């Protein structure tokens, strides 16, 4: 084996390790390896930049921009809201309504963009109708992958191969050439998802045999010395002053009292553990007589101005991984207060300041309107979404314009290859 071959093999192994550990952005990792090859004379500068002239590669980049335009128009948000049932139904019926449509959309838009658009909407919808979101999020991902098999622009891999074929002198792929087998695979895949997902995927929409909705988060609240709720009664987990939530238990003098099987009379300095949805946080903030533990040392002006609830999932590049919330000043870094944490289905009840942050933690934040615009596209978080029912943009003209442009793109890419050359130039995919 030559020295060049050893260098290339070593660099590729190192590159794969870095990509697997997700310590550096993939684009930067690949670029550094390519630059290293060029500096060592393994490839020439001309070969280094040759890929940037590949029409398939450039078409992939343009398709990302098209997907982003459709996302910002709100057209897909409007469509998915019309598809999703607004009352509780069976998992299979709900999947049957959404997954074929998602596969169809994914055939013409970038898969990543489709998942990013639909995942938070479906998660909020599942919470709204009291259905397990786990039954829909993985099928969503698979449906987009299956849809991407059906057209040339369905996935970036198809376009790259198409460009390489043209560079090698071949005709390349046609717009719907892959659909001859892609549609069959998609139908078979969707049928399997309909049959198997209900049994294989986790998530239940009922909490034991009580018939109560699953409570996603626990919130810690303190009863101040001068609280009007001193003397109030918690009856078997029910607290009439906060009917939207249930009481999990009460900490008093370092002793925990479960609330589901007894009556508890509140005293000053009691710490109440309340169970409820993330959207219940706004209710807790407005109630006089209790104070959320996470907001004890927060400026009142910020609480009044921070009217938005946001859910984030921590990514591997989040700088506070391995640090406690008390040590890592989340507010100073991102302008938000961590009010609740959900980790692998485990609900963190107390001691948030001592909690060590991990990749994949689901955090509910109290913040202002600038958070999503600032960090929504950041790689620090896997997912950023409003922790409330999804909203549909009201600008109908943008939705229609985006839809018309998308249809024009699809039709043009389909029939362009059959049109005669104009001034010596063929109207191809690019």
**Residues 70 and 148 placed together within one structural domain of the fold:** yes
Given 268, 295, 322, the domain boundary residue is 295
Same domain? 73 vs 164: yes
SS (H, E, C) the chain: CCHHHHHHHHHHHHHHHHHHHCCCCHHHHHHHHHHHHHHCCCCCHHHHHHHHHCHHHHHHHHHHHHHHHHHHHCHHHHHHHHHCCCCCCCHHHHHHHHHHHHHHHHCCCCHHHHHHHHHHHHHHHHHHCCCCCHHHHHHHHHHHHHHCCCCCCCCHHHHHHHHHHHHCCCCCCCCCCCHHHHHHHHHHHHHHHHHHHHHHCCCCCCCCCCCCCCCCEEEEEECCCCCCCCCCEEECCECCCCCCCEEEEEEECCEEEECCCCEEECCCCCEEEEEECHHHHHHHHHCCCCEEHHHCCCCHHHHHHCCEEEEEEECCCCCCCCCECCCCCHHHHHCCEEEEEEECCEECCCCHHHCECCCCCEEEEEECCHHHHHHCCCCCEEEEEECCCCCCCCCHHHHHHHHHHHHHHHHHHHHHHHCCCECCECCCCC
Say what the pLDDT of residue 373 is: 73
Taking only the tens of pLDDT, the chain with its 430 residues reads 788 899 999 999 999 999 888 777 788 899 999 999 999 999 999 888 877 777 777 877 888 788 778 877 877 777 877 888 877 778 888 899 899 999 998 888 878 778 877 887 787 788 777 788 888 888 999 999 999 999 888 888 888 788 788 778 888 888 888 999 999 999 999 999 999 988 888 765 444 333 344 445 778 888 988 888 898 999 988 888 888 788 888 989 888 898 888 899 999 989 888 887 766 776 777 788 888 877 776 766 666 665 677 888 888 888 888 899 888 888 888 888 888 788 776 666 567 778 889 888 888 888 877 777 777 767 788 766 665 544 444 567 887 888 888 888 888 877 776 777 777 777 777 7
Q: Is residue 104 part of a domain?
A: yes
Q: Is the same domain home to 128 and 186? A: yes
- 270 and 314 inside one domain: no
Q: What CATH number does residue 380 fall under?
A: 3.30.70.1450
The answer to whether 232 and 239 have CB atoms below 8 angstroms apart is: yes
Residues 414 and 333 in one domain: no
Q: Are residues 41 and 141 in the same domain?
A: no
Residue 26, φ and ψ in degrees, nearest 5: -55, -45
Quick one: 80 and 100 in the same domain? yes
Residue where a domain stops, chosen among 12, 27, 53: 53
Q: According to the model, what pLDDT value does residue 8 have? A: 93
Is there a single domain that holds both residue 133 and residue 16?
Answer: no
Residue 357 belongs to a domain:
yes
Domain count, the chain: 4
158 domain-assigned: yes
Q: For residue 427, is it within any domain?
A: no
Same domain as 287, residue 344: no
Predicted pLDDT at 147 = 92
Is there a single domain that holds both residue 162 and residue 84?
Answer: yes
* Residue 309 to residue 392: CA distance in whole angstroms: 17
CA 299 and chain centroid, separation: 30
Note down the domain range covering 48: 3-53
Q: Are residues 316 and 365 in the same domain?
A: yes
Q: Are residues 119 and 188 in the same domain?
A: yes
Instruction: Report yes or no on 212 lying in a domain.
Output: no
End of a domain among 258, 280, 295? 295
- The two tokens of residue 5 are 């071959």
pLDDT value at residue 204: 58
| Predicted local confidence at residue 216, as pLDDT | 59
Residue 197 lies in a domain: yes
- 392 within domain boundaries: no
Q: pTM value?
A: 0.59
Which position has the token pair 């992939």?
60
In a domain, 235, yes or no: yes
CA distances from 152 to 64, 106, 162, 273, 410 (A): 14, 11, 8, 53, 10
């Amino acid at each position: 084996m030559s020295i060049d071959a050893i260098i290339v093999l070593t660099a590729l192994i190192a590159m794969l390790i870095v990509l697997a550990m997700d310590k550096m952005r993939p684009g930067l990792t690949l670029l550094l390896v390519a630059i290293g090859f060029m500096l060592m004379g393994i490839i020439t500068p001309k070969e280094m930049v040759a890929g940037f002239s590949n029409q398939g590669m450039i078409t992939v980049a343009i398709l990302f921009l098209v997907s982003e335009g459709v996302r910002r128009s709100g057209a897909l948000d409007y469509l998915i809201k019309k598809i999703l049932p607004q009352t509780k139904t069976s998992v299979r019926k709900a999947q049957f309504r959404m997954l074929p449509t998602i596969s169809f959309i994914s055939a013409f838009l970038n898969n990543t963009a489709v998942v990013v658009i639909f995942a938070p909407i479906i998660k909020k919808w599942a919470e709204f109708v009291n259905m397990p979101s786990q039954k829909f999020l993985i099928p969503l991902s698979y449906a987009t992958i299956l849809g991407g098999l059906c057209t040339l622009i369905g996935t970036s891999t198809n376009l790259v191969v198409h460009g390489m074929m043209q560079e090698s002198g071949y005709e390349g792929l046609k717009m719907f050439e892959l659909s001859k087998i892609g549609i069959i695979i998609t139908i078979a895949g969707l049928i399997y998802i309909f049959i198997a997902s209900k049994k294989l995927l986790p998530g239940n929409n009922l909490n034991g045999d009580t018939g109560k909705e699953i409570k996603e988060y626990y919130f810690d609240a303190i009863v101040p010395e001068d609280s009007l709720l001193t003397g109030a009664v918690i009856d078997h987990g029910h607290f009439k002053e906060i009917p939207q939530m249930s009481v999990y238990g009460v900490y008093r003098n370092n002793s925990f009292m479960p609330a589901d099987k007894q009556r508890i009379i509140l005293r000053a300095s009691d710490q109440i553990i309340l169970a409820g949805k993330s959207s219940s946080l706004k209710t807790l903030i407005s109630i006089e007589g209790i104070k959320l533990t996470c907001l004890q040392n927060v400026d009142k002006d910020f609480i009044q101005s921070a009217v938005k609830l946001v859910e984030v999932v921590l990514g591997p590049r989040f700088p506070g991984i391995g640090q406690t919330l008390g040590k890592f000043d989340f507010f100073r870094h991102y302008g938000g207060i961590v009010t609740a944490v959900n980790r692998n289905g485990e609900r963190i009840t107390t001691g948030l300041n001592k909690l060590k942050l991990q990749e994949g933690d689901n955090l509910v934040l109290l913040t202002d309107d600038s958070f999503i615009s600032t960090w929504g596209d950041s790689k620090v978080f896997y997912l950023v979404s409003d922790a409330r029912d999804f909203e549909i943009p009201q600008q109908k003209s943008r939705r229609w314009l985006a839809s018309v442009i998308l249809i024009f793109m699809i039709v043009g890419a389909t029939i362009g290859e059959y049109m005669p050359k104009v001034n010596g130039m063929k109207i191809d995919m690019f």
